[in-house]
Structure formats: structure tokens, C-alpha cells
Structure 1
Amino acid sequence: MTDLTGAVVALTGSGSGLGLGLAQYFGDCGATLALLDISSEKVAALQESFGDDILAMQGDVRDIGALTAFRDAIITRFGRVDCLVGAQGIFDGNRPISDLPVDKVPAAFDEVMQINVLGYILSAIVFREELAKRNGSITLTASSNASYCADGGGLLYTASKHAVVGVVRQLAFEFAPDIRVNAVSPCGIADSDLRGPGALGLESESQNDIPKDSFMAMIRKVTLLDHLPTGAEYGPAYAILADPKQRILTGEIIMADQGLANRPIISSR
């Protein structure tokens, strides 16, 4: 386990699924946690679960004012920030583009891209100066499916996750040598509460609604490991990249895909 004792970690999208698992793992590694989520109910649950040693705030990653307030509250409470970890995101329900009403596509595109991409960009800009003081790190979330191949989501989600890869590589270039910028590309996540865009009426549709047996059947079909990881199980990959003590990894994407990219082409399994 990576030792993050003394590191102050700002984690966006921390209220459920991947983000909540990462918060649990980073806390177990000794990190001081500052958690942001758009849901006030989830923020209250975070505060109750983690106690008074953390900072938990409600805010929208699309809102510069909310991000600035989050950063300032961290500095006021803890005096510094060492790591920024981005875990927020929305899905498009894997809807084929031909199934979407064309008049709804622009608004849905804007919503998916603003949360999945612009939110990361704005967070990086807002936190840049404070992270640079600490030779800190930014660790974002891509997707092992949608960042590198088709059918890991619909067109809108796939486009957004491809964009995250570009964001990581360009920010790593622009923020060097003061800040390292990397990402993890997870595959399936147990207990994910990833939801869809309101522009398509999918804001109440959660990946948790997929029957577990169906989800596991899909995982077995496309990966090599008969396992659906929790958010916390992705923690080691994020922690390695975020660790303020490591100075060798930047512009990198860790493929945490349970062997998805190494699946058989000819042989049956």
C-alpha cells in the first residue's frame, strides 16, 4: 500500500462508486481528505462516514466559483494541497447515436463533455498554483473501454473519454516540471452509480440498475479476470500516480482493464 501520510488529497466526484472507493483507499493510505460532490445528500453521508477529520463540500465541477471555494477551503483548513484526483463522470447509457433524437444531441454532448472533460480542465486550472507549490500531482479518470476502443459506451461518452487522454498529455506537457499529470483507465466498477445526462432524460438511470449477473456475464466475456472490482480496488493504481514522493510518471495512462486489451482474438476461452 502506498504511504500517503501527510498528503492532502482533493478528490472530486467522491460521493459514490469509484470516487467513494478512492476516498476510502486514500484514507487507508494515511491521506488527509478533501472531498467534493454535486449531491448534498452524498456530501452529508461522506461527512458522517469519514468524520470530522475530513473536509466535505457540495459543488459542481462545471462551476469555477465552486471549485475556487473548494480550493480555498482546503488551504484554510489544511494549509496546502498535494494531490488533485478527478473521479466525477456521467455515462450515456451506451445508446447508439442513431437512437438519439438529433435535436437532443447538442445539449447531451455539452452535458457529457462539460462534466467528463471540462470539469477536469477547470479543476486543474483552479488548483494549479497551489499544487505547483508542493510539486504535486493531478490524477484523472479515463476509461479502458471508451478511451481506446469502440463500444465501451455510446458516441458521446466515448468521445469524452478519448478527450480525457488528450487533456492528460497536454496538461502534463504544460504543467511540467512543477506538477505531474496522469490518469487511470478503469474497466467495470462494482456498485457504480454512474448516471446519464439529463438532456436525454437519463439522470435517474444508474449503472447500479444493471442486474449483477448480466454485468458479470459481460465482464467475463470481454476480460481475462473473473472479477468485477470495487472502486477501492482501483485505489492502488491511483495512489501510485498521485503519490507526491514519486517523480517519474507524468503524461501516463494506467490501463486497469482486467486484461481487456489482451483478450483472445482467435481462440475461444
Structure 2
Amino acid sequence: MNDFQDRKAVVTGGAQGIGFAVARKLTEQGAQVALWDRDETLANEAAVALGANAMAVAVDIADWTSVEKATAFTLDRFKNVDILVNSAGIAGANAPLVDYPVEEFQRITQINLLGTFHVNRALVASMIANDYGRIVNIASIAGKEGNPNASAYSASKAGVIGLTKSLGKELADKNIAVNCVTPAAARTRIFDQMSQEHIDYMLAKIPRGRFLELDEAAAMICWLCSEQNSFTTGSVFDLSGGRATY
């Protein structure tokens, strides 16, 4: 068990999927959590389910102004943020690059990569001021290997890996750890955005022969968010079921 008593956390995409699983573990272990999500109704429902230590904040991470407003609101309530988990993201359409809609590529990049940059940029200052922070950015195995017919998603998640390594080095002389995880697919609502052919492809590539469980992802992410993770930073942690462990 990790001790998160009195820690303040922001979890983007916290209304569902991996984000919600992480938020649940954090609140169970004493943290106060702000669920940043574009779906305000779902975020409010999730906050109610998690209890008094959770609150919902409506935000579009692709929009810098929206992130600034969410940051101001959260800091007004929490005073500081100790933990940031960036779980918000989309899969987008599946298509060969030669046919890939330009607008769709831009949309996926704006949410997955630019959105991650926005949230990191907005909250790092609070961590520097308090000489403490734990950041976990959710990338993807696609960011390591590249999935066919998913160039936008693969490229955006590769960018998240690069951003994490860069920020980890920038903050290495401070008590702030910045890491990312590269999950294989987990059965969440993101599957609704994918073709069955693409889902079958992803499953076939996992040596474990099954998809990732949300609690498995949350367990690793929460350790990375804990005080126990006092040395490792700028690193990539595999959650791919053996698909790519480098």
C-alpha cells in the first residue's frame, strides 16, 4: 500500500477507464483528487462514486485557456498539487496514412500530445514551489512500436514519451519524478473508437494473450506517484504484457 494521506492529485480523463481506476486507488489511500475530464456529467458521477475526497473539474485539455481555468480552480481548492496523472486521450480513426484525414490527425495530436503538454506546463510550477511532485503521463505501446493504420495515435503517444524524458531531465535536480507508462490495450470506452480488426490485431500482439486489467495499470501508476519512487525519473515503464519491454 502507498500512503497518499494529505496528498493532492489531478487525474485527467479521471471519469472513466485507467484514470478512474487510478483515482479510486489514490482516494482509497488518503489523497484528495480532482478529476479533470471533458465529460462534466460523467466526471460528476465519478466524483460522487469516489466520495468526499474527489471533485470533478470540467476541462478540455486541448484548449490552453480551459486548462488555465481548471488549474486556477483546482489550486484555489487544493492550494497545491503533489501528483499529476495524465490519462486523458483518444484513439481516433483507423486508416492507412495515405488516406488519413488531415483534420483527424490534428485532432488526435492536439488532445494526446498538446493536451499532455498543456497540463504538465500548468501544474509543474506548483510542484517546483513545494519541492515535491510526481507526474505520470500515460503513453502507449503504440508509441514504442507504431500500430499500422494508427499513425496519428502512434505518433502522438511517441511524442508523450519524448516529452516525459525531456521534462524528467529538466526537473531531475528537484524532488519531482516524471515518468510514463506504455500500456497495451485495456477494455475501456476507447475501444468504441476502434475497428474490430484493429482490436484483434492488438490482442494478437500481446504475449500474455489477454488485455490489460485496469487495476493492474493503476497499481503501477500509483507506485510511480508515491514517495517510494524517489529516484527514477524520465523513464518509461512497460505495461504491454510482454509485447515490448524496452
Asked if these proteins are the same fold (TM beyond 0.5), I'd say: yes
Say which SS state the counterpart of residue 77 (structure 1) adopts: helix
Say which SS state the counterpart of residue 116 (structure 2) adopts: helix
Contact 1:15 1:42 in 2 (8 A): yes
Structure 2 equivalent of residue 202 of structure 1: none
Deviation at 1:72, TM superposition (A): 2.5
Structure 2 CA distance, aligned partners of 1:184 and 1:152? 21
TM-score, normalised by the number of residues in structure 1? 0.82
Structure 2 CA distance, aligned partners of 1:77 and 1:152? 43
Letter in structure 1 aligned against 2:225: A
Say which SS state the counterpart of residue 56 (structure 1) adopts: strand
Letter in structure 1 aligned against 2:193: S
Deviation at 1:180, TM superposition (A): 1.8
Structure 2 CA distance, aligned partners of 1:220 and 1:57? 34
Deviation at 1:171, TM superposition (A): 0.9
Per-residue Cα deviation, 1:189-233 (whole angstroms, up to 9, x for no partner): 12x1227xxxxxxxxx535x859xx95x65653222243233232
Greater shift in the superposed pair: 81-90 or 70-79: 70-79
Structure 1 equivalent of residue 5 of structure 2: 5
Moved over 6 A (4+): none
Contact 1:21 1:233 in 2 (8 A): no
Contact 1:81 1:134 in 2 (8 A): no
Out of 228, 233, 244, the residue aligned to residue 216 of structure 2 is 233
Structure 2 equivalent of residue 166 of structure 1: 162
Structure 2 CA distance, aligned partners of 1:247 and 1:82? 13
Letter in structure 1 aligned against 2:126: E
Report 1:1-269 matches (<5 A). Answer: 1-100=1-100, 104-105=101-102, 107-132=103-128, 133-144=130-141, 146-151=142-147, 154-178=150-174, 179-190=176-187, 192-194=188-190, 205-207=192-194, 210=196, 215=199, 218=201, 221-261=204-244
Contact 1:92 1:153 in 2 (8 A): no
Per-residue Cα deviation, 1:151-171 (whole angstroms, up to 9, x for no partner): 266111111111111101111
Structure 2 CA distance, aligned partners of 1:6 and 1:174? 26
Structure 1 CA distance, aligned partners of 2:71 and 2:149? 32
Structure 1 CA distance, aligned partners of 2:201 and 2:55? 37
- Structure 1: which 5+ residue stretches go unaligned? 196-204, 263-269
Structure 2 CA distance, aligned partners of 1:153 and 1:255? 22
Letter in structure 1 aligned against 2:118: L
* Pair 1:33–1:17, CA change in 2 (3 A): same
Say which SS state the counterpart of residue 181 (structure 1) adopts: strand
TM-score, normalised by the number of residues in structure 2? 0.89
Greater shift in the superposed pair: 46-55 or 133-142: 46-55
Deviation at 1:111, TM superposition (A): 1.0
Letter in structure 1 aligned against 2:71: R
- Structure 2: which 5+ residue stretches go unaligned? none
* Pair 1:65–1:5, CA change in 2 (3 A): same
Deviation at 1:25, TM superposition (A): 2.3
Structure 1 CA distance, aligned partners of 2:203 and 2:67? 39
Contact 2:9 2:84 in 1 (8 A): yes
Say which SS state the counterpart of residue 66 (structure 2) adopts: helix
* Pair 1:153–1:244, CA change in 2 (3 A): farther
